[in-house]
Amino acid sequence: MTKVNRIGKIYGKLLVIREGEKSSSNKITWVCKCACGKKTIVCGDNLQTGNSTSCKSCAMSLRVVSEETREKRRQNLLRDYTRMNNP
C-alpha cells in the first residue's frame, strides 16, 4: 500500500497538519486543523472518501457556507499555517 502524504492538503474545512498515530485498526490517521481552529484526528480513508470535512463540532452544527466565506476561511487557514511554520 502506498502511503499518501496529505500534509498541507485541504479537505473541506480541514487542513492536514501532520500524521497522527495509527488507529486501533492500524489505519493511518492525520492531525487536521479545522476552519474553526480546533484540531481533530481523522482517518486517512475518511479524508480520501470525503466522509470527514470538518471537526466533530462543526459536523454537528453543519451550515451552508457561501463560496466567498469558504474561500476567505481557506486563505486565513493557509496564512495561519504558513505563520506556524515560519516563526
Of the ranges 4-12, 20-28, 41-49, 57-65, which one interacts with Zn ion (CB under 5 A)? Answer: 57-65
Residues 16-55, one symbol each (x = binds Zn ion by CB under 5 A, - = not), give ------------------x-x-x---------------xx
**How many CA atoms lie less than 13 Å away from 46 in the CB half-sphere?**
20
- Give the N- to C-terminal CA distance of the chain in Å, as an integer: 35
Tell how far CA 18 is from the center of its chain.
Answer: 10
Grid coordinates given for 42? 481523522
Least distance (Å) between residue 34 CB and Zn ion: 3
Contact 16, 7 (CB under 8 A): yes
Give the count of residues interacting with Zn ion (CB under 5 A).
6
Contacting positions for Zn ion (CB under 5 A): 34, 36, 38, 54-55, 58
